[in-house]
């Protein structure tokens, strides 16, 4: 009988499991950073087991001190990962066994890696989100103090990237601070939403020894338990929400980065980045490139990619735990790292950047006061729709003469409407235009100061 042809991939097998599959399956290389959450979760679990007499108090104490030693080894960089340590959960349990002996085998009673990993991730993200929140608040306070210091600087405000109306530079800065404040509030709400306990759900069907889940929740600082075991082991909405949050926050960072890239060009020259946040060209000696800002803009794509990638992995998973869920960690870690770095770099750029108020002011032109000219007539009782038209005609008159809007005389303007009088000359002041916008939320000094106060109060309350 002819020998069966060897499988093309057969040579790779040396034992029962393809070593490539081992590596493919393992998550230890990335989930080891949850070692702290894993140890803390296990310590609480050991206490809950003893509370229900599933293990004795002596056994609990052995487990707790063993887990504390495992944690210490990680903290001191002494933990040695060995072959077979598939993930952080198996690695820690293996090491616990080496340290405390067979009692380690009691720790996992009624627990599954399914409820364990879901708990670890929530604990890890809760901590990490607090760090990110602190960076975000630091960034907001950098912007607020800059806005306060540079309150008198005026610049063109843009729509469609066309000069529109004069504004305060501080008003521009604060527009970004408000976006970040909303991001901070969203993150706080998100933390509160996901701060609920999956542990005590078993693999999927629930805990067999009636463990006290409310005790576990209290021990681990969760505000409540998750009320359905199937849901508890498979819910990763908190990862999806965090990734969306991170993407949106990066969009905000990317947008101010784009503004500042434009403002730092030779054509604008409104701002100049500190050397610490720029780099040169290897070929052109004169170049100073805003690499920090370009990276921030670029990294927004990376974080969005993490979100969309995870959503694709998440969407088709049948009920409860499936290994696809292991794909939740790298995007979460990467987004968290990218956010931490990006927020700190943005704060660094914004606190060290130079501005050129004369250049900003020189970029203002009288046509930017065309709306003010219309408003002048409104004050004289002319309906706004008409005044808009009249002011447009004045702009055209000035353009036809190749002159500036402010060079039109009262006589010129009177040909357009009889209500123009000598006091129209007062319209040609950028400062007045700005100060006229003193409704809350406007660009007048009083409105900008009020914004600064509001943000300062919020920062002091939440810090
Ligand atoms: N490393 C796994 C993960 O990250 C832990 C859960 C494993 N559960 C299982 N049933 N294989 O998702």
* One domain for residues 384 and 348: no
pLDDT at residue 288, rounded to an integer: 83
Catalytic, out of 14, 160, 282, 460: 160
- Give the Å distance between the CA of 326 and the centre of ligand 1: 6
Q: How many domains does the chain have?
A: 3
CATH code, domain carrying 34: 1.10.275.10
What are 428's two structure tokens? 């040609």
Question: Pick the catalytic residue: 56, 65, 281, 404?
Answer: 281
CATH number at residue 421: 1.10.40.30
Burial class (CB in 10 A: 0-12, 13-18, 19+), 362: exposed
Q: Report the pLDDT value the prediction gives residue 5, as an integer from 0 to 100.
A: 39
Q: Is 391 helix (H, G, I), strand (E, B) or coil?
A: helix
- Dihedral pair phi/psi, residue 154, rounded to 5°: -115, 155
CA dist 289 and 318 (Å) reads 49
The verdict on residue 11 lying in a domain is no
Helix (H) or strand (E) holding 448: helix 445-462
Residue nearest to atom 11 of ligand 1 (CA): 323
Residues 241 and 390 reside in one and the same domain: no
Contact 382, 363 (CB under 8 A): no
In a domain, 180, yes or no: yes
Both 253 and 151 in one domain: the answer is: yes
In angstroms, the CA 263 to CA 219 distance is: 51
- 313 CB under 6 A from ligand 1? no
pLDDT of residue 462: 84
Q: What 8-state DSSP symbol labels residue 23?
A: H
- Kindly state if the Cβ of 27 falls inside 6 Å of ligand 1: yes
What was the pLDDT predicted at 415? 97
Determine if ligand 1 sits within 6 Å of the CB of residue 183.
no
Q: Whose CA is nearest to atom 4 of ligand 1?
A: 326
Going from the Cα of 246 to the center of ligand 1, the distance in angstroms, rounded, reads 25
pLDDT of the chain, 463 residues: tens digit per residue = 444 434 344 454 456 778 899 999 999 999 999 999 999 999 999 999 999 999 999 999 999 999 999 999 999 999 999 999 999 999 999 999 999 999 999 999 999 999 999 999 999 999 999 999 999 999 999 999 999 999 999 999 999 999 999 999 999 999 999 999 999 999 999 999 999 999 999 999 999 999 999 999 999 999 999 999 999 999 999 999 999 999 999 999 999 999 999 999 999 999 999 999 998 778 887 878 999 999 999 999 999 999 999 999 999 999 999 999 999 999 999 999 999 999 999 999 999 999 999 999 999 999 999 999 999 999 999 999 999 999 999 999 999 999 999 999 999 999 999 999 999 999 999 999 999 999 999 999 999 999 999 999 999 998 6
Query: What's the pLDDT score for residue 8?
Result: 41
Examine residue 389 and state whether it is found in any structural domain, yes or no: yes
Residue ending a domain, among 339, 362, 385, is: 362
Inter-residue contact 248 to 241 (CB < 8 Å): no
Distance between Cα 26 and ligand 1 center (Å): 9
- Residue 298: the pLDDT is 98
Minimal-distance CA residue to ligand 1 atom 12: 326
Task: Give yes or no: residues 97 and 137 share one domain.
Answer: no
Residue nearest to atom 2 of ligand 1 (CA): 326
Q: Quick check: is 443 in a domain?
A: no
Ligand 1, from 35, 87, 310, 320: best to mutate by most atoms within 8 Å of Cβ?
Answer: 87
Q: What is the CATH number of the domain that holds 344?
A: 1.20.200.10
Residues 77 and 134 in one domain: no
Closest CA to 141 of 105, 181, 111: 181
User: Is 108 an active-site residue?
Assistant: no
Distance from the alpha carbon of residue 15 to the mean position of ligand 1, in angstroms:
23
For residue 209, which of 38, 44, 48 has the smallest C-alpha distance?
48
Tell me, yes or no, if 160 is annotated catalytic.
yes
> Which among 30, 37, 114 is the best mutation to test ligand 1's pocket, defined by most ligand atoms within 8 Å of the CB?
114
Give residue 384's domain range: 366-428
Claim to verify: residue 263 and residue 125 sit in the same structural domain: yes
| Same domain as 186, residue 43 | no
Pocket test for ligand 1, best of 35, 92, 113 (most atoms within 8 A of CB): 113
The owner of tokens 């303007």 is: 413
Residue 430 Cβ < 6 Å to ligand 1: no
- In this structure, the answer to whether residues 266 and 144 fall within a common structural domain is yes
pTM recorded for the entire structure: 0.94
204 occurs within a structural domain = no
Q: Compute φ and ψ for 447, nearest 5 degrees.
A: -70, -40
Q: Based on the domain organization, do 241 and 320 belong to the same domain?
A: yes
Ligand 1, from 199, 326, 329, 331: best to mutate by most atoms within 8 Å of Cβ?
326
Shared domain check, 338 and 375: no
Q: Is residue 356 part of a domain?
A: yes
Q: Find the 322 Cα to ligand 1 centroid distance in Å.
A: 8
Beta carbon of 114 within 6 Å of any ligand 1 atom:
yes
Both 157 and 42 in a single domain? no
For residues 378 and 354, membership in a common domain is answered with no
Separation of CA 267 and ligand 1 centre (Å): 55
Residue 213 domain-assigned (yes or no): no
Ligand 1 centroid to Cα of residue 12, in Å, is 25
Q: Does 461 map to a domain?
A: no
DSSP strands (E only) in 282-436: 354-355
């Amino acid at each position: 009988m002819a020998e069966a042809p060897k499988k093309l991939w057969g040579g790779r097998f040396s034992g029962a499991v393809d070593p490539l599959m081992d590596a493919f399956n393992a998550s230890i290389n990335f989930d080891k950073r949850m070692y702290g959450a894993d140890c803390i979760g296990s310590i609480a679990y050991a206490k809950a087991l003893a509370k229900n007499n599933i293990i004795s108090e002596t056994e609990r104490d052995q487990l707790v001190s063993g887990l504390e030693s495992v944690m210490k080894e990680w903290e001191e960089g002494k933990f040695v990962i060995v072959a077979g340590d598939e993930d952080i959960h198996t690695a820690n349990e293996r090491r616990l066994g080496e340290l405390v002996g067979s009692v380690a085998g009691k720790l996992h009673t009624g627990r599954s890696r399914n409820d364990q990993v879901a708990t670890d991730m929530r604990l890890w993200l809760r901590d990490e989100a607090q760090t990110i929140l602190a960076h975000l608040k630091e960034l907001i306070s950098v912007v607020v103090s800059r806005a306060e210091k540079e309150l008198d600087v005026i610049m063109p405000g843009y729509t469609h990237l066309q000069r529109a109306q004069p504004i305060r530079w501080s008003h521009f800065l604060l527009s970004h601070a408000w976006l970040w404040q909303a991001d901070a509030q969203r993150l706080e709400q998100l933390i509160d939403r996901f701060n609920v306990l999956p542990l005590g759900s078993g693999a999927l069907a629930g805990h067999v020894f009636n463990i006290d889940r409310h005790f576990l929740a209290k021990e681990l600082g969760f505000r409540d338990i998750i009320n359905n075991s199937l849901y508890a082991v498979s819910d990763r909405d908190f990862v999806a929400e965090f990734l969306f949050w991170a993407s949106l926050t990066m969009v905000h960072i990317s947008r101010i980065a784009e503004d500042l890239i434009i403002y730092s060009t030779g054509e604008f020259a409104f701002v100049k980045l500190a050397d610490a946040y720029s780099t040169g060209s290897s070929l052109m000696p004169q170049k100073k490139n805003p690499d920090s800002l370009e990276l921030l803009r670029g990294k927004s794509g990376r974080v969005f990619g993490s979100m969309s990638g995870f959503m694709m992995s998440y969407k088709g998973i049948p009920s409860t735990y499936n290994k696809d869920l292991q794909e939740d960690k790298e995007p979460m870690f990467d987004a968290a790292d990218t956010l931490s770095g990006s927020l700190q770099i943005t704060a660094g750029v914004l606190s060290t950047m130079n501005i050129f108020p004369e250049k900003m002011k020189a970029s203002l032109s009288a046509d930017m006061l065309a709306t003010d000219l219309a408003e002048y007539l409104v004050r004289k009782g002319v309906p706004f729709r008409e005044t808009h038209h009249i002011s447009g005609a004045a702009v055209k008159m000035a353009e036809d003469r190749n002159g500036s809007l402010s060079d039109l005389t009262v006589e010129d303007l009177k040909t357009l409407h009889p209500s123009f009088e000598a006091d129209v000359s007062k319209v040609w002041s950028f400062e007045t235009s700005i100060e006229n916008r003193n409704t809350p939320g406007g660009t007048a000094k009083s409105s900008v100061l009020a914004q600064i106060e509001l943000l300062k109060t919020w920062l002091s309350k939440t810090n």
